[in-house]
Amino acid sequence: MIGTAVKELLLEKQETFLIPAENVANVMCLNPLSHALLVLSQVKYSKIPVLDKGDRFVGLISLSDVVDKMFDITSVDFDKLKDFTVADVMEVNVPVIGEQWELEDVLHLLVDAAFLPVVDNNQCFKGIITRKELLKAINHMAHELERKNIILPKSDEESREMKVI
């Protein structure tokens, strides 16, 4: 459980956490892999969301997913990208969060991901919450915690009791 003072400080920057869908590079699941390669190389992100025709989140695609399809044992073949769509190689079953997310869930999930897709109840893509934005909030908290709160160390007796429990 996140302490009240820590949670309040982290959530002071909550409005900056979500990068809206219209500001996030994405590809459609039916796009050819060559298009995904172009988008990924232009935005300089290693992984981006994949959407369907209804703007619903369906997965993620990474630069390495695309590049893997170009290689065979002895050569690199860019023409192979025409034979596949984004849906053929995208990562599915990706953790997502709803619009009414809990801070503790976001923190746990961002340990293993650079960003979390945010979806509504119909899986429509609303944007992403990035590890970078959460780290900015943690930086803010680290600088403000003792300025806004009185922090008292536990006594030796309290520390011993906690170890026994």
The domain in which residue 87 lies consists of 4-149
Q: Is residue 51 part of a domain?
A: yes
Q: Is residue 48 part of a domain?
A: yes
pTM of the complete model: 0.83
Q: Is residue 155 part of a domain?
A: no
Cβ neighbours of residue 105 closer than 8 Å, sequence gap 6 or more: 97
Q: Is residue 138 part of a domain?
A: yes
In this prediction, residues 116-121 reach a mean pLDDT of 97
Nearest Cα residue to 102 out of 11, 4, 5, 3: 11
- For the cut 60, the answer to whether the pLDDT of residue 144 exceeds it is yes
- pLDDT bin (cut points 50, 70, 90) of residue 89 is very high
How far apart (Å, rounded) are the C-alpha atoms in residues 49 and 28? Answer: 9
How far apart (Å, rounded) are the C-alpha atoms in residues 110 and 130? Answer: 8
Whose tokens are 């190689």? That residue is 89
Whose tokens are 């997913």? That residue is 65
In this prediction, residues 54-59 reach a mean pLDDT of 98
- pLDDT bin (cut points 50, 70, 90) of residue 110 is very high
Q: Is residue 110 part of a domain?
A: yes
- Both tokens of 51, joined, read 């959407």
Q: Is residue 163 part of a domain?
A: no
Please state, as a whole number, how many other Cβ atoms lie within 10 Å of the Cβ of residue 132. 11
pLDDT value at residue 87: 96
Domain count, the chain: 1
Q: Is residue 164 part of a domain?
A: no
Q: Supply the CATH number for residue 45's domain.
A: 3.10.580.10
